[in-house]
A and B are shown apart, each in its own frame.
Chain A
Amino acid sequence: MTSTDQTFTADPEDGTTFALTPGQIFRRRIFGHTGFLIGAGLILAIVLIAIFAPLLAPHDPYAQSLSARMLPPVWSDGGNPDYLLGTDQNGRDYLSRLIYGTRVSITIGLGAATVGLLIGVTLGVMAGYFGGWIDHAISFLLTAQLALPGLLLAMALVFIIGPSIWVVIGIVGVLHWTYYLVVTRAATQRIRSQDFVAAASASGASPRQIIWHEIMPNLLSSIIVIFTFELGIAILAESSLSFLGVGIQPPTPSWGLMIAEGKQAMFYRPWLVVLPGICLFLLVIGANLMGDGLRDITSPEGRNE
């Protein structure tokens, strides 16, 4: 072992000097991506608003004041400085309702995207790892799911089960797992054929151990990306359901419901529709910018692998 011994003692430069750990590369990429920073900033702000809603809201979102109905925002004629963004048809403070509305949107967005994640990733990893008839069966399920009209089915299900925030989370989640499945199945198939999986099974690892220890860490970044996209989609789905009257029930403040309630007066009091619309837009664009950013940050090209 004389000659190979020298190999490493005489090896001051072995390529580690300029190589960064995956974590360092990740951080460097995050702070170089403007879109991601804007999106993440928006989402963070909205999440903070949702958490501290009782501290931020100037009024009780449920308190009705019949003397102060349909007040316009403070900057238009007839605005009242007590109600910065005006009031709705029941005289409830619009700003407070918008602030509390973040809670519904964030809860349903996170909840439904998580339900979808659990279903989609489980099926995707199983299909990709085991292949064969399991893959055929799951792919068939996917085709069937893609053929269903989602919103219509959601309406029918909520109508049958009865509306509540948990039912909406469950149903929106159950209808939004296809994207997870498609991506994790393909990624699992690719990772499964790599030699480190064979090395693990040659070391006596069971399929469960291989999936959790070898495959999952490699899926994590793509799962996070899909999760952010699904967050936006689920929030929009909740708003659609609430707008159609089968989602969140009054008097709970939900942006979709607020748009529905304001739509009769839309032409005379457009802020009733425009304000919750803007909130929804900011939240969803934030989620999408963050998802796009994460996809760029975690994509393999240019990475040191």
Chain B
Amino acid sequence: MSTLLDIRNLHVSLNIPDGQLRAVRDVCLSLDSGQSLGIVGESGSGKSLTALALMRLLPRAADCRATRMQFQGQDLPALSDAAFARDIAGPRIGMIFQEPMTSLNPVYTIGRQMTEAAIARGMLSGPDARKKAIDLLDRTGIPDPEARLAQFPHQLSGGQRQRVMIAMTLMLDPDLLIADEPTTALDVTVQAQILDLLDDLRRERRMGMILISHDLAVVAERSDKVAVMYGGEVIEQGTSAEVLRAPAHPYTQSLLRAIPHLGGPPGRLGAIPGTVPSLLHPPRGCIFAPRCAHRLPECTTARPPLRGTGDTHRYLCTLDHPPQVRLTSDPLIGSGAVDGAEDVIAASHVTQVFQTRKGLFGPKREIRALDDVSLSLRRGETLALIGESGSGKSTLARIMLGLSVPTQGQVTMLGRPVSEISGTERASFVQPVFQDPYSSLNPRRRLAEIIARPLVLRGDGDAAARKRAVEEAMDLVRLPARLLHAYPSQLSGGQRQRVAIARALVTRPKALVCDEPTSALDVSVQAQILNLLDDLRAEMGLTCLLITHDMAVVHQVADRVAVMYQGRIVEEGPARNVLANPAHDYTTRLLAAAPRFANDAPVPEVAQ
């Protein structure tokens, strides 16, 4: 096999008003033709910038240097921008982006966008390009491809658009395909299909592929090689089998322990303490040292040496021998509902119809978001509501919170109709935690004000009592008290989510409704939040309605599961039974689609 791509000592820095952000440092990657390379890392690790540097798509303020950047033996930095655009970007290296909703131009038809590049480059004639486009759309699994050519992007679903993007990239037969988080914006079942498709196409065409993802499980399944990035550096790389079976760098080890697995009994996750360091002033020693559990004094003073065995496995670490991986995890400490626990919130035969109208005189349109849904939440349990986007799960959560009134049906809270309970009384019983910690905190208020707000609204206590309650709540979610007067913009995503949970807990509610509380967060932060929820269940006996699409998270925390599909609940039961023996076809599909490591049991065995 010949070397397809060889990058040595790539540095990318971004000039921002506060100084120089050294976003990618000393990255060396290589790839043989036909091979696939997975780049894994949390947000801000520099994985996307590495790919953008290769494609010359870096922002203008960026500065990029490398001692070698060769593609099929050709020196890339030597090419002029015009020559690069003509010969490399497109026909030799293709790229797929994260957001299929914005990567197609909404005013042109699919056919025009697909054939444009090939025709403009004189590679194909109009009719040939059209024929090829139809073939490729058919190959990527789009039904009735010929008719699709005349359609506009808004007529396709997100998954279909991503397929079109893939087909479009393949029109020029690139030798290397870069996929930057190709499935992050898509639903789980679609995600699996797209990844399988990419994998098949790669083998079929003997293309090289770089798959960039924050999801280790996704990469583990479909790459020959893996590079793990942290804080702008590749801290470990090698063949997938070696890196994932025998991770040597403490960060890779912690990351693997932080991911909820579908196999085995649920347990505490190995959260990585702290947050990613600022790249404005990267530390002199090891980049991971401030968060490392095996830190030695010399880790913070000298660059760690590159260790490992030849080309198959290399890592940057000061330790002479990789630390032993702990295979077992601590059991969960929160307990589920006791048998025969009462229902605390119950929705019975709830139907929600949305009517929209375009303008004052436009026609009415009806959307049936919920169709005759009955669901009850029992005291002390964690109920997971699973479903894909658009299945109505968030609508149901809003109704069960009492925030909106359903078209038909009734919601009772502690046995009383929710409409008869006043806002503040309801608030002291159940509180929400939202998905996006960036929009759930008022950017203009300090943390002390944000967390105290529910108490102020309820008219509880005086200022001193409220301050005490706020400090207690911050302590409960392990936020340091010195952040009391910070603004949300000064916090990281995980800290913001803790603030949102602190605000929800300050009134000492009995129940939480968490709407995808971790899906906007990095894996290590997700582990912190999931462990926190487990702590709170143990300490406060919280009842929890958890809305999610991630089956591994469900396996991790839920006692009971309800699966929603197109506005209906199609399956409901104890988490173990549902995950082990799904009854409904849709649940089976969801489970099959969830990415998993090869050493996970294919279907978790029923315990007891």
Contact = CB atoms under 8 A, between A and B. Distances in A.
Contacts of B480: 8, 11, 14
Interface string A13-41: 11111111110000000000000000000
Contact of B478 (A8, A19, A200, A213): A8
A136 interface: yes
A296 interface: no
B274 A209 contact: no
Contacts of A217: 442, 444-445
Contacts of B425: 204
Nearest to A217: B444
A52 interface: no
Interface stretch (B7-15, B304-312, B486-494): B486-494
Interface stretch (B87-95, B234-242, B430-438, B543-551): B430-438
Q: Which interface class (under 10, 10 to 19, 20 to 34, 35 or more) fits A?
A: 35 or more
Contacts of B432: 198-199, 202
Given A14-B495, A22-B444, A218-B443, A200 B528 contact: no
B270 interface: yes
Given A7-B273, A202-B401, A203-B507, A15 B290 contact: no
Nearest to A25: B489
B457 interface: yes
A2 B271 CA distance: 11
Given A200-B453, A203-B457, A302 B439 contact: no
A77 interface: no
Most A-side CB within 10 Å, residue of B435, B441, B478? B478
A27 to B, nearest CB: 14
A218 B403 contact: no
B458 A21 contact: no
Contact of A22 (B489, B492, B535): B489
B495 to A, nearest CB: 7
A13 B532 contact: no
A19 B490 contact: yes
A205 B427 CA distance: 9
B255 to A, nearest CB: 15
A196 B439 contact: yes
Nearest to B272: A7
Interface string A154-197: 00000000000000000000000000000000000000001110
A75 interface: no
A95 B405 CA distance: 67
B582 interface: no
A266 B21 CA distance: 61
A15 B423 contact: no
Interface in B471-494: 478-480, 483, 486-492
Contacts of A11: 273-275, 480
A7 B271 contact: yes
B423 A204 contact: yes
A304 B444 CA distance: 12
B486 A195 contact: no
Contacts of B486: 16, 21
B422 A22 contact: no
A90 B31 CA distance: 90
A218 B422 CA distance: 28
Interface string B392-405: 00000010011100
A140 interface: yes
Contacts of B479: 8
Contact of A15 (B333, B436, B490): B490
B447 to A, nearest CB: 11
B280 A18 contact: yes
B531 interface: yes
A201 interface: yes
Contacts of A303: 489
Contacts of A136: 359-360
B360 A8 contact: no
A135 to B, nearest CB: 10
Contacts of A218: 442-444
B507 A21 contact: no
B336 to A, nearest CB: 18
Contacts of B438: 305
B17 interface: yes
Contact of B440 (A17, A194, A213): A194
B277 interface: yes
Contacts of B403: 198, 201-202
A195 B450 CA distance: 13
Nearest to A6: B273
A96 B457 CA distance: 55
A66 interface: no
A206 interface: yes
A201 B440 CA distance: 12
B431 A202 contact: yes
A10 interface: yes
A14 B492 contact: yes
B427 A204 contact: yes
Given A8-B273, A200-B453, A305-B443, A18 B278 contact: yes
Nearest to B434: A195
B423 A201 contact: yes
B588 interface: no
Interface in B244-276: 268, 270-271, 273-275
16 contacts: A2-B330, A3-B330, A4-B535, A7-B271, A7-B273, A8-B273, A11-B274, A15-B495, A18-B280, A22-B444, A199-B503, A200-B457, A203-B423, A203-B427, A204-B457, A305-B488
Given A4-B528, A10-B273, A205-B423, 12 more contacts: A2-B330, A11-B274, A15-B275, A15-B495, A17-B278, A21-B490, A195-B436, A200-B453, A203-B423, A203-B458, A204-B426, A205-B457
Interface of A: 1-8, 10-22, 136, 140, 194-196, 198-206, 209, 213-214, 217-218, 220, 302-305
In the A-B complex, the 7 residue pairs with the smallest Cβ-Cβ separation, listed nearest first, are A204-B423, A204-B424, A195-B440, A217-B444, A203-B454, A195-B434, A19-B490
